[in-house]
Structure 1
Amino acid sequence: MPNIEQFTPTEAYEALREDETAALVDVRSRAEWTFVGLPDLAELGRDTILAEWRQFPGMTPNPSFLDDMTRQMGGTTPQTVLFICRSGARSQDAAIAVSQLMEEAGTPIRCINVAEGFEGDLDGSGKRGGLNGWKAANLPWKQS
């Protein structure tokens, strides 16, 4: 199994700032993007790639995940791809799968998991979004 690097949201944003070719792939569901929000990379001059790892409402695997992702990247995959979900679990799975597929295809890339995700871990009152994660780190995000 590939060794996937783990970045905090702040480390992820800095990596995206420093490497203009790196991409951020949000693997959450369309419902999450719409109702919870998503990372806003406008000040870095690019968009977040939106590709569902599991499809809402049944959370079944998305058979076109890799195609959805690479299509938004213009048909090519950058050398560094960061993956984010709600709290870091789905993005870890996606990073492992993409890393393995790219390695098998003979074009290995650096896959990084945003460990705390967009909303982060549950706090003491059972809510997400305030303890850690992209939003709690006050990184740019938007809601549609």
Structure 2
Amino acid sequence: MAKSIPRLTPHDAFNFLRENPQAVFIDVRSEMEFLFVGHPKEALSIPWRDEPDWEINPDFLAHVRRATSHDRPTLLICRSGHRSLEAGLFLQAHGFSAIYNVAHGFEGDLNDRHCRSSLNGWRFDGLPWEQC
């Protein structure tokens, strides 16, 4: 049975990464989101679901295994925290024990006008990010 995935606020995730240099930070959004919307600095891009069909990436587990180990702290981020939670549960089911989910993700929750980056999230909180 899967354990729950600890949720870290974006600020707590940023501090966790600074205090744990061995930790790995993985952005599980699509490649296009990573490149064109922007991404946290130092995050690796390993899409959980990707275009064009938005199916689970068949290479996801292999790529994560190359980037980290089963017991190495690994933080996952997506747009709002939902895909990263799904990916984290998948990794737990495959033996990863130190998975963390970044609450609210990179762009955060939708506001009343259905816009992101206005309530919460990595970018809203002013944490280091870049756009390629």
TM-score (norm 2): 0.93
**Deviation for aligned residue 1:78:** 5.4
**Contact in 1 for aligned 2:109/2:117 (Cα 8 Å):** yes
Q: What is the aligned partner in structure 1 of residue 72 from structure 2?
A: 79
Aligned to 2:101, the other structure's residue is in SS state strand
Matches within 5 A, 1:67-106: 67-73=62-68, 76-77=69-70, 79-102=72-95
Instruction: Tell me if 1:110 matches 2:111.
Output: no
**Is the CA contact (8 Å cut-off) linking 1:24 and 1:48 kept in structure 2?**
yes
Does the CA-based 8 Å contact 1:21-1:78 persist in structure 2? Answer: no
Closer, same or farther: CA 34–60 of 1 in aligned 2, 3 Å: same
CA distance in 2, matches of 1:138, 1:8: 13
Per-residue deviation, residues 84-133 of structure 1 (Å, max 9, x unmatched): 0000000001111111211xxxxx52111111000000112210012100
Of 53, 59, 82, which aligns to 2:54?
59
Percent identity for Structure 1 against Structure 2: 40
Q: What stretches of structure 1 of length at least 5 have no aligned partner?
A: 41-46, 103-107
Aligned residue pairs, count:
131
What is the distance in 1 between the residues matched to 2:71 and 2:32? 27
Partner of 1:4: 5
User: Which residue of structure 1 aligns with residue 45 of structure 2?
Assistant: 50
Alignment gaps of 5+ in structure 2: none
Q: Distance in 2 between matches of 1:71 and 1:111?
A: 15
After superposition, what is the alpha-carbon deviation per residue over 1:54-111, rounded to whole angstroms, capped at 9, x for unaligned? 01122111111011223244xx455211110000000001111111211xxxxx5211
Runs of 4+ in 1 over 4 A off after TM superposition: none
